[in-house]
Amino acid sequence: MNIRSVLIANRGEIAVRIVRAAKALGLRTVQVHSQADTDSLAVKLADAAVEIGPPPAKKSYLNIDAILAAAKAANVDAVHPGYGFLAENADFADAVTAAGMTFVGPSGDAIRLLGDKVMARAVAVKAGVPTVPGSDGRVADLAEAVAIASDIGFPVMVKAAAGGGGRGIRIAHDADEFARLFPQASAEAAAAFGDGGLYLEKVIERARHIEVQILGDGENFVHCFERECSLQRRRQKVWEEAPAIGLPDDVRSRLCESSVALARQVGYSSAGTVEYLYDDATQDFYFIEVNTRIQVEHPVTEMVSGIDLVQAMLRIAGGEKLSLRQDDIRIHGHAIECRINAEDPYKNFMPWPGRIGQLRVPEGEGIRFDTMLFEGYQVPPFYDSLLGKLIVHGADRADCLARLQGALKELVITGIATTIPLHAALASDPSVGEGRTHTRFLEPWLETDFAALKRAREDA
Amino acid sequence: MSIADIKSPLPGVFYRKPSPESPPFKDDGDAVKPDDVIGLVEVMKSFHEVRAGIAGVGIRFVVEDTDAVMAGQTLAEVQA
């Protein structure tokens, strides 16, 4: 490997994970930190630490100049961005490279290309990856729109080209409703966004979120199979699994091979994830986007494949060729990850910074807890609420769920509210047990099933 | 008239504006009513409105936009 030291431009559990992976490879580790993270676990574990600014992320973990100055002062060979913060900032990747260091991730150009929704969709189409059926861009008028809608099949989503974040979306269930709705939606979009442009997309009613882990060195590309992340709240993943539940083998092959084709199309170098919507009813999958970084839920893939993805990223960044061939990569058993957040699930997920009292971590075969916590640690209010990830592996999904139930009982964090009770409820829920979940499962379930548990708890 | 403090109910980052491009909720010298929003506190990436909680005139902010604040820290003073 042609790197001997790495600066970790992140915090929290992922910084701890990267420090450990880098040390295992014999690299010198330098941890940057804000004034709020001076006492953090990653700072304690790293060989050296550099303060980069005040607590707010904009002034520290998002401050490119401060991070580059720290990297130069510490004389490191490489910078690992983790996830979030600057991980998918193409300008940051370019700035690291321009300063003569290695960015642990794909090139700035690859991040830029895949980070643009329209360009990424075009790359996917070129690589033969299925995309959500729809109008390719804006539709000119009602006649064209009706023709395209009939082609896609109803229900159809009418989306404002200038909308976003769920605004400017209408759903038409048949051609009559579509003809009525379309001019109305255009007028509304013009009023709301100053742009009446509309485009169309197929509605996938019971979609599951499935994503494929890829690794590339610029010449060779492999997949490490898929993860399922259908349990989401406010579009945030809460619980992830590998492999996807009940996915037919031929679908799995096509899905994973399409991700490798996409990686090859752009000459991808590093670890990445290709995200899809999966339609249970038709067994069709559709490309959503590529994440050009390590993901929060990477451990479930590590547990079933035995591959250390963070170490693989560092090796690729260090100029090593991928030693893995596709045939070497196999899935063993099943893994589930629960995101343990500093939020009170009984109080509408109110954030809960504060001091950790007792911390008891379950141990045993197939159990892993990635965290930055220690007893007495003060969880700062300035960053996201992720405290750690409980990852459990079992011989199959049923075995994994049984182990997870036990591990969740043994995991004790006092002093602050956490989402452990939410996960305990999910782990023993019959629908979750049978894998009857999709991306719109969790929010209604919280209103009904979890609310009932909450009432029972209050009565007790 | 006496001076009353408006305190942060939560620890986090204090914002005087609803978005970076917007004007502040209140300028120094403004009058406030109890229900008026005077700023936001970002706690673990979620935003919470801070209301004046008191009627008064001549509000004066004692922390800057995007400063880190503690729970119970004074954000502004008003003459009530």
Rounded mean pLDDT, A87-98: 97
- The whole-number average pLDDT for the span A274-297 is 95
Per the domain annotation, does A309 fall within a domain?
Answer: yes
- Mark whether A311 and A426 lie in a shared domain: yes
How far is residue A114's CA from residue A299's CA, in Å, rounded to a whole number? 23
Q: Residue A120 above 90 pLDDT?
A: no
Determine the residue among B44, B48, B63, B65 to mutate to test chain A binding: the one whose Cβ has the most chain A Cβ atoms within 10 Å.
B44
Q: Is the confidence at residue A165, as pLDDT, over 70?
A: no
Q: For residues A356-372, give the mean pLDDT.
A: 97
Q: How confident is the model at residue A97 (pLDDT cuts 50, 70, 90)?
A: very high
Specify whether the CB–CB gap between A27 and A373 falls below 8 A. Answer: no
Domain assignment present for A120 = no
Q: Is the peptide bond before A243 cis (omega within 30 degrees of 0)?
A: yes
Q: Is residue A121 part of a domain?
A: no
Would you call A170 a catalytic residue per the annotation? no
Dump pLDDT digits (tens) for B16-43: 999 888 899 999 999 999 999 999 999 9
Q: What Cα–Cα distance (Å) separates residue B10 from each residue in A227, A353, B43, B48?
A: 37, 9, 7, 9
Q: Say whether both A291 and A330 belong to one domain.
A: yes
pLDDT classification of A427: cutoffs 50, 70, 90: very high
| Cβ–Cβ below 8 Å for A343 and B10 | no
Report the mean per-residue pLDDT for chain A. 95
Is residue A408 one of the residues assigned to a domain?
Answer: yes
User: Is residue A137's pLDDT more than 80?
Assistant: no
**What is the DSSP secondary structure assignment for residue A112, as one 8-state letter?**
H
State the nearest Cα–Cα gap between B17 and chain A, in angstroms: 16
Any CB–CB contact under 8 A between B44 and chain A? yes
Q: Residue A367: give its domain's CATH number.
A: 3.30.470.20
Could you give the number of structural domains in chain A?
A: 3
Model pLDDT, residue A205: 81
Give the per-residue pLDDT at A166.
57
pLDDT tens figures, A187-230: 888 887 788 888 898 888 889 999 999 999 999 999 999 999 99
Q: Please say which residue of A202, A220, A246 terminates a domain.
A: A202
Predicted pLDDT at A271: 98
- When pLDDT is cut at 50, 70 and 90, the band that residue B53 belongs to is very high
Predicted pLDDT of residue A167: 65
- Domain co-membership, A193 together with A245: no
Per-position DSSP letters for A200-222, written without gaps between them: EEE--TTEEEEEEEEEEESS-EE
Cα gap A242→A226, rounded to integer Å = 6
For A298-316, what is each residue's pLDDT tens digit? 999 999 999 999 999 999 9
Average pLDDT over residues A323-348: 96
Question: Nearest C-alpha of chain B: how many angstroms from A345?
Answer: 15
Q: Each residue of B34-71: b (16+ CB within 10 Å) or e?
A: eebebbbbbbbbbeeebebbeebeebebebeebbbbee
CA torsion A233-A238-A243-A248 (nearest 10°) is -10
Q: What is the pLDDT of residues A34-83, one digit of tens each?
A: 999 999 999 999 999 999 999 999 999 999 999 999 999 999 999 999 99
Whether the per-residue pLDDT at A27 is higher than 60: the answer is yes
> What would the two tokens of residue A81 be?
């961005």
* Domains located in chain B, CATH noted: 3-79 (2.40.50.100)
> Over 90: is that where the pLDDT of B1 sits?
no
Q: What is the pLDDT of residue A118?
A: 74
Q: Which of A11, A170, A252, A293 is catalytic?
A: A293
pLDDT at site B36? 97
Percentage of chain A beyond pLDDT 70 is 99
Q: How far apart are CA A255 and CA A253, in angstroms?
A: 5
Do residues A8 and A18 touch, judged by C-beta distance below 8 A? yes
Does residue A397 share a domain with residue A299? Answer: yes
Which residues are CB-contacts of A382 (< 8 A; sequence separation ≥ 6)? A34, A36, A55, A56, A57, B12, B13, B42, B44, B68
Residue A5 in this model has a pLDDT that exceeds 60: yes
- The reply to whether A131 falls in a domain is no
What is the amino acid identity at position A122? A
> For residue A20, what are the domain limits?
5-104
Asked if the C-beta of B11 comes within 8 angstroms of chain A's C-beta atoms, the answer is yes
Nearest to A208 by CA among A273, A259, A280, A157: A280
Shared domain check, A221 and A193 = no
